[in-house]
Structure 1
Amino acid sequence: MKDGVLPRGTRERLMRARLRRALRRPFRSLTDLPIARRVGFHLRRVGGDLDLHFFRNLLRALLGFVFFAALLVTLVEESKRSLGGLGASVYWAVTTVIGSGDAGYPSSPAGFLVGWLLSFFGVAIVGALTAACVGFVIDFLLKEGQGMGSAGFTDHIVVCGWNSTARELLEELKGDEFTSRVVVIHDSDSNPAGSGAYFVKGDVTNDDDLERAGIRDAAAAIVFPRDASNDADMRSILTVLAIESMAPGVRTVVEVNNPKHVEHFERAKADEILVTSRLASRLLARSALYPGLATLVTDLVSGGDGSELYRVALPDDVAGSTTDELSTRLRAEHAATLLAVVRNGVGITNPGSDFRVAAGDHAMVIAESLGTMSPTEPSATAEPTPTPVTANATGLA
Structure 2
Amino acid sequence: MLRVISLLLKRGRKALFSDWARALAITAVLFILSAAGFLYFESGVNPALTWSDAFWWSLISMTTVGYGDFYPQTMGGRFLVGLPTVLFGVAVLGYCLSMVATILIESRSKDVRGVKKVNLKDHTIIINYCGLDRMMGVVSEIRGDENYRDSSILLVDMDLESLPEELIEMSIKFVRGNPSREATLERACLGSAASVIIMARNMHDPASDGQNLTVALTVEKMAPSVRSVVECVDPDNAPFFKRAQCDSVVCISELSGNLLVQELQDPGVQHFISEILSNSWGQRFFLSPVKCSGERPYSDIAARASEMELLPMGFSRNGEYFINPDRKTSVAQGDFIMCIGRERPSEVAI
Q: Matches of 1:155 and 1:107 in 2, distance apart? A: 63
Residue in structure 2 matched with residue 200 of structure 1 by the alignment? 174
Residue in structure 1 matched with residue 28 of structure 2 by the alignment? 63
| Post-superposition offset of 1:364 | 1.3
**1:93 and 2:67 are equivalent in the alignment:** no
Question: For residues 58 and 173 of structure 1, do their structure 2 counterparts lie closer, same or farther at Cα, with a shift above 3 Å needed?
Answer: closer
Deviations 1:273-301 (A, max 9, x none): 1233334445556666x544953545543
Residue in structure 2 matched with residue 274 of structure 1 by the alignment? 250
Question: For residues 71 and 307 of structure 1, do their structure 2 counterparts lie closer, same or farther at Cα, with a shift above 3 Å needed?
Answer: closer
Residue in structure 2 matched with residue 257 of structure 1 by the alignment? 233
Contact 2:209/2:237, CA 8 A, preserved across alignment? yes
Residue in structure 2 matched with residue 323 of structure 1 by the alignment? 298
Residue in structure 2 matched with residue 117 of structure 1 by the alignment? 84
Unmatched tracts of structure 2, length 5 or more: 1-13
Q: Matches of 2:16 and 2:82 in 1, distance apart? A: 30
Question: For residues 310 and 88 of structure 1, do their structure 2 counterparts lie closer, same or farther at Cα, with a shift above 3 Å needed?
Answer: closer
**1:368 and 2:341 are equivalent in the alignment:** yes
For residue 346 of structure 2, what is the amino acid of its counterpart?
A: S
Contact 1:166/1:224, CA 8 A, preserved across alignment? no
Residue in structure 1 matched with residue 219 of structure 2 by the alignment? 243
| Post-superposition offset of 1:106 | 4.3
For residue 314 of structure 2, what is the amino acid of its counterpart?
A: L
Question: For residues 243 and 76 of structure 1, do their structure 2 counterparts lie closer, same or farther at Cα, with a shift above 3 Å needed?
Answer: same
Question: For residues 279 and 103 of structure 1, do their structure 2 counterparts lie closer, same or farther at Cα, with a shift above 3 Å needed?
Answer: closer
Q: Matches of 2:113 and 2:195 in 1, distance apart? A: 24
The residue correspondences of 1:143-162 to structure 2 (distance < 5 A) are 155-162=122-129
Q: Taking every aligned residue pair, what percent have the same amino acid on both sides?
A: 22
**1:343 and 2:317 are equivalent in the alignment:** yes
**1:312 and 2:288 are equivalent in the alignment:** yes
**1:79 and 2:38 are equivalent in the alignment:** no
Residue in structure 1 matched with residue 149 of structure 2 by the alignment? 179
For residue 249 of structure 2, what is the amino acid of its counterpart?
A: I
Contact 1:151/1:183, CA 8 A, preserved across alignment? no
Question: For residues 293 and 153 of structure 1, do their structure 2 counterparts lie closer, same or farther at Cα, with a shift above 3 Å needed?
Answer: farther
Q: Secondary structure at the match of 1:120?
A: helix
Q: TM-score, normalised by structure 1?
A: 0.64
Q: Matches of 1:159 and 1:375 in 2, distance apart? A: 27
Contact 2:312/2:337, CA 8 A, preserved across alignment? no
Contact 1:159/1:221, CA 8 A, preserved across alignment? yes
Question: For residues 232 and 88 of structure 1, do their structure 2 counterparts lie closer, same or farther at Cα, with a shift above 3 Å needed?
Answer: same
For residue 76 of structure 2, what is the amino acid of its counterpart?
A: A
Deviations 1:151-189 (A, max 9, x none): 776554332113376565456446576736544433324
Question: For residues 139 and 74 of structure 1, do their structure 2 counterparts lie closer, same or farther at Cα, with a shift above 3 Å needed?
Answer: same
| Post-superposition offset of 1:223 | 0.7
Question: For residues 344 and 108 of structure 1, do their structure 2 counterparts lie closer, same or farther at Cα, with a shift above 3 Å needed?
Answer: same
Number of residue-to-residue matches in the alignment:
322
> Which one of 190, 194, 209 corresponds to residue 219 of structure 1?
194
Contact 1:157/1:180, CA 8 A, preserved across alignment? no
Unmatched tracts of structure 1, length 5 or more: 1-49, 377-397
Residue in structure 2 matched with residue 188 of structure 1 by the alignment? 160
Q: Secondary structure at the match of 1:338?
A: strand
Q: Matches of 1:185 and 1:81 in 2, distance apart? A: 67
Q: Matches of 2:274 and 2:67 in 1, distance apart? A: 73
